[in-house]
Amino acid sequence: MRMRKLSITATVLAGVAGLTGGLTATAAHAAEPLPESGGTYRISSHAGGALQWDGPRNGAQVRVKEGNETLTEQTWTVTDDGTGNWSVRIPRTNYAVDRDLGNNSVAAWNDIGRANQRWWLQNLSGSRAWLLHSSDRTGGDTCLTRLPDQGTAARPCNAGDAAQQWNLDKTTAQPPTPTVPVTLQMVNAGGYDPNALRSWFDKSRGLLQDQYGKIKQFMTGGAYEVKPGINVVFDAGHPSFSSPGVAAVFDPNPKPQYNNEKSIVLRPDYVMRNQGDTGSLIHELTHQVQDAANGGWLNEGQADYYRKYVFNVKEKPGLDRIRGTDYDRGYDSTAFLLNYIAHKHPAGESIIQKINNEVRRQGFGADGDRVLTAITGKGGRQWWTEMWNDIQASPTRWTNPAFRD
């Protein structure tokens, strides 16, 4: 613990020395410990009021309002990205305090890790106050500033200006995570006992509630809102089940018989014959989170990636299930390729989230290869070829069943 703290301080010092000579002495004698990375804080101004977000969406205002300790909107999650540069985010979302490099205004934007979305912290000597320096040096050294009209902006740093001095106070009570409502409808039990199906479902309800938040965080990082409820339907008559291999489906078209909700539809005979299988529920729940107008094979690959590389790694496909297939077959093949990309791309596993958010952004026009190229710089064919070249060069590395992270 102690060592860790020291090393974080050293990182900040290096940042300070590299950016503005002369500040090191101040930081070295910092009276106030750095915030806990990942902790949630109130950020109040020495000129009055507390930093408040408007909402979890791009371009949302960040203003200073009268301090109110019961307001969730006045809490922020602050995280050191490992280099002494901090994100200041709306809790449980990916929206970060972002400095517009054009006009130095400040607002909440989806965090893509750019320097103008990072701040380094300078504790003022003999004070609890921090200056939040923009990590992007464009236009000189600028700091988060409270404006007279209670807006915020980045302005040239001036340690003596109360409008640039902020206290960070850790919040004690975290707002509770609301439990997502889960409803069940028995439309067509396919000749099976509805009570047996219901009882199977009741055992999976908690899993769906627990996984929903995790899938949302993994797949979206809060980039968009998803449906605040889960509707599960047993319907042996769903058109997708005319194909015998389909166990479950996410139906994105609200239907009167499904409560007019986008729904996870389950095939009763599959559930009764495979009562231990929760993976297909997770796959369909991932589709609900994806909330994509189009996405095809890439969405199928991502849903299987979450299911088999995150939720239950025992389901990871081996090479024998991939050989002879192609990158755009979805499911095992695309999930296997996504795992390879996550290992090769500098963004690591967060590349999955970036891909998902881009598919959703492109809407009906989404095309898997175009999305992959936009986000990773290479299309599916090129990744697939490189993957097989790597497998041939070093088969054990890519066939290790324990390999994910």
Nearer to Zn ion, 118 or 287 (CB): 287
Kindly report each contact of residues 127-130 with a partner whose C-beta sits within 8 Å and lies 24 or more positions away, as own/partner.
Answer: 127/31, 127/32, 127/165, 128/31, 128/32, 128/167, 129/32, 129/46, 129/165, 129/166, 129/167, 130/32, 130/165, 130/166, 130/167, 130/168
180/246 with CB nearer Zn ion: 246
Least distance from C-beta 300 to Zn ion, angstroms?
5
Which burial class, exposed, middle or buried, applies to 370 when counting CB atoms under 10 A from its CB (0-12, 13-18, 19+)? middle
> Is the distance from CB of 134 to CB of 105 less than 8 angstroms?
no
Give the C-alpha separation, 300 to 288, whole Å: 12
Please say which residue, 295 or 380, places its beta carbon nearer to Zn ion: 295
The conformation of residue 36, written as its DSSP 8-state character, comes to P
Nearer residue to Zn ion within complex by CB, 122 or 288? 288
Total residues in contact with Zn ion, by rule CB under 5 A? 2
Footprint of Zn ion on residues 273-312 (CB under 5 A)?
A: 300, 303
Cross-strand bridge partners of residue 255: 261
Q: In whole angstroms, how close is the CB of 287 to Zn ion at the nearest point?
A: 5
Shortest Cβ 246–Zn ion spacing (Å): 9
CA distance 214 to 219: 8
Cβ 131 to Zn ion, closest distance in Å?
49
Is residue 375 within a helix (H) or strand (E), and if so which, with residue range?
helix 368-376
Considering beta carbons, is residue 303 or 341 the nearer one to Zn ion? 303
Phi and psi of 167, rounded to 5°? -95, 140
Q: Which is nearer to Zn ion, 74 or 204 (CB)?
A: 204
Report, in Å, the least distance between residue 101 CB and Zn ion.
Answer: 40
Binding mask 313-352 for Zn ion (x = CB under 5 A): ----------------------------------------
Site for Zn ion in 3-22 (CB under 5 A): none
Q: Which of 301, 303, 298 is nearest to 287 (CA)?
A: 303
Give me the least distance between CB of 250 and Zn ion, in Å please: 7
Q: Which is nearer to Zn ion, 94 or 288 (CB)?
A: 288
Minimum separation from the CB atom of position 330 to Zn ion (A): 7
Q: Which residues bind Zn ion (CB under 5 A)?
A: 300, 303
